[in-house]
Structure 1
Amino acid sequence: MPRVVVFDRTGAPDVLHIVDQPVTEPAAGEVRIRIEAIGVNRLDQMMRAGSYPGPVRLPHARLGCEGTGVVDAVGPGVEGPGVGDAVVITAVPEMDLNGTYAEYTTVPAASVVPRPAGLDATGAAALWVAYSTAYGALVEKAGMRPGDHVLITAASSSVGLAALQIAHQIGAVPLAVTRHTAKKEGLLAAGAAAVIVTDHEDVAEAARRHTGGAGADIILDSVMGPGLADLAKAARAGGTLVTVGWLDPRPASFPMSWPLTVLGYASFEHTLDPTVVRRIAAFLNAGLRTGALRPTVDREFGLDDIVEAHRYLEQGHQAGKIVVTVRPRGVRRASAP
């Protein structure tokens, strides 16, 4: 029988284990996907560790909101994707029941889009969550325009690297923020107009220096925490701060740098809206065709190594996406070094 990653209690990565589970037939409006590759996300870590703010149905909970594969079966009434089509999963509304950490999963047909031409399964698994989050926050939510200075925290994360590329595609000026000097050259190579290293620079002062004294038009923050109010000082008067994550789980300090627009963004706000999904897919396809967008894969693991993949995620050293490839039973990928 096909393999599925589950957990019966929350905790460290080793609560994850693989079980055999029969495939389910797709209901009306659903498609079944034979998974080829999975993107590993911080949301997965939060659910597994017990820090996710929503309910998780235990035991035998599943994980995974991102993946790509081939349509294996379609339910009644499906007019879009057909058997054999390569697709990217755009949303898994009940990931604790049908998450992508598996050889097969069943999702609404409206929750898949065609896999972009020329993108292999590994690249496709690194695409949707990072790029739809960065696009949704910057373009749909903050209204990023050509010439805008965009300050991006956690810039070496998958969302951060996607934001750098999307800013370039729009014609904005991306300013990368990182804690580690060792990541500076890589971020410059990835397209940052400047890199601010928080180990020895004040972010607000550096942002004003790189923007002619004005400050950033938009701040894209994945960190939150007690430093949020100080980060907001890097914005220009009347600028916009969009939070897209909480890498720092401590309570966030509220910005008082008025005038400032503060927005919270979760990708499900748009990825459950078919109209916006079409815009996102069109934007990403255009960027992939021109080469402006290039999904960044930090490291690959096999499904049998899912515990090691989560341990690596928790170290926080990756630049780009951690991808888990799914191969037929008996074909095992060696653990990454």
Structure 2
Amino acid sequence: MGEDSSDGLTSFLFYTLFVYPSCSWILKPGRFPRKKAIIYAIAFLCALAFFKTSFEIVERDANHYNVLGVQRSSTAMEIKKSYKRLSLELHPDKNKAPDAADQFAHLKASYDVLMDVENRVVYNKFGPDGVKNNKSTFDETGMLLEMGIFYATWAMLSFVLTLGKSGNMARSWIYTGQIVMLLIEITLMTTEEPFPDWFFPKTTEYEWIWLLHTLFPAFMNGCRCLGGFLYVDMEGETRKLLAALEESNKDILLVLRDVQIGVQHLSTQGGPRISADASSSEGGTEGVMKVPIIKATPTGKLKELETKLARNNSQVEQAVGALKNEGGKGSGLGFYAMILGYIALTYFFNN
């Protein structure tokens, strides 16, 4: 477990301190077109994760099935037969390699583990450390405790790294990935033979879980980059829109006040006279018709319009205030409760 923890810390630092800034550089607004930036970032993350994980797989010791050249479904007779054949080839008396003794010792250790039915099951589930520490597949409490520590640690790290409104989307993706990974891990650990014999016949459940844990830092930082890039602050945009509307209403109110003052001034001067000439085809007569201006009509309409705009402006101000007050509220408590509820249900159902 110590080696795996060290590898996990190394992966976390590598992806957080190197990969995340590089991916953020690719996704910087204006550097590439939006769709191309997303494609480049995903390709960059996948390529780095592939090469890094491949290198770590090569550096790991071959598992017992690969050492003996047998499969998970091999019988004790097949294992014994393979061991006899390889022991003759790798015995230090015939093998002239510098590490012949180590190769033969590894072969003997692999044979001892796979020939013991109980150790073989423990090895498949927990790896070599499980055999060394005499773990048992029946210790479900210890198994769930280890899972809980691992996932709780990464959940807290993910939360810290995705603080802020721009990280809400990324946090949801990360926690969803964690739930999927947890389901897969529980299935692998609690199912006696989770894979058919033809599916990677020499790979154990422990190695699949190790692979998931190794790739998770890449997934987490990829979610952080893409989530921040795709995030749109709807509250901020709405706030800007409402603020602009508020300013527009204020300008309109000022103009209407000027118009109202002008109309009132004209009304106090008696208003304009409108003359009309009436002539007939028979000689015509002239007359002047004085049309009085209805003083209340324009002023009343302007006041009515002013009242409506003032009411609208008040509503806009209330909406802006509500958005400001709601800006700091969190909305992820339900998701955390779902995670805790799932872990609790899994624990009770497995006991």
**Larger RCO: 1 or 2 (CA < 8 Å, sep 6+):** 2
Q: Is the strand fraction higher in 1 or 2?
A: 1
What TM-score comes out, normalization by structure 2 length?
0.22
Q: Which has the larger radius of gyration?
A: 2
Q: Is the helix fraction higher in 1 or 2?
A: 2
